[in-house]
């Protein structure tokens, strides 16, 4: 088997960071994201992401954390802006408004539907990479999915 080194070196790694206390959710997301071509890393808190920011220029973050935790990490999260997806079991209008005020536009209701996650991923622009084509027309407005 011959490997084309030039093309191999040009290949960009797309990172996905998962922050969730539930081991089953982490395992499920890990499997889904690897299937979508991501290098996955589970993190316990945003400080781990802060330490990796020099190594990783692009990637995305999926997190299930309280809004107060998000507000404490706003400078770091602004770097990830459109590549941050909040997962929450309860999505209310009040929560949505608060999140929009701090710059969080993508919210997925838990349990996470892999099709909804894939749709969000297709809408994300990653640095040094072309935007992944979406399935259909892009919708206007926020990127909040509520299943049910």
The values of phi and psi at residue 30, to 5°, are -55, -50
The pLDDT of residue 16: 94
Of the given ranges (106-110, 113-117, 124-128), which has the lowest mean pLDDT? 124-128
Q: Residue 147: which residues within 8 A CB-CB, separation 6 or more?
A: 109, 113, 116
Q: CB 92: neighbour CB atoms within 10 A?
A: 10
* pLDDT of 12 higher than 90: no
In the chain, beta strands by DSSP E: 14-19, 38-42, 60-63, 84-88, 106-109, 143-145
Check pLDDT > 90 for residue 26: yes
Confidence of residue 117 (pLDDT cuts 50, 70, 90): very high
Q: Which has more confidence, 143 or 93?
A: 93
0.85 exceeded by pTM: no
């Amino acid at each position: 088997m011959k490997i084309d080194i030039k093309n191999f070196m040009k290949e960009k790694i797309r990172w996905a960071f998962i922050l969730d206390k539930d081991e089953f959710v982490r395992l499920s997301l890990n499997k889904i994201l690897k299937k979508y071509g991501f290098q996955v890393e589970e993190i316990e808190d945003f400080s781990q992401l802060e330490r990796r920011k020099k190594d990783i220029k692009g990637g995305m973050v999926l997190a299930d954390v309280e809004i107060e935790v998000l507000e404490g990490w706003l400078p770091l999260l602004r770097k990830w802006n459109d590549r941050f997806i909040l997962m929450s079991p309860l999505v209310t209008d009040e929560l949505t408004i608060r999140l929009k005020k701090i710059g969080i536009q993508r919210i997925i209701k838990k349990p996470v539907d892999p099709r909804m996650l894939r749709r969000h991923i297709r809408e994300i622009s990653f640095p040094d990479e072309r935007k992944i084509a979406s399935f259909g027309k892009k919708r206007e407005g926020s990127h909040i999915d509520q299943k049910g």
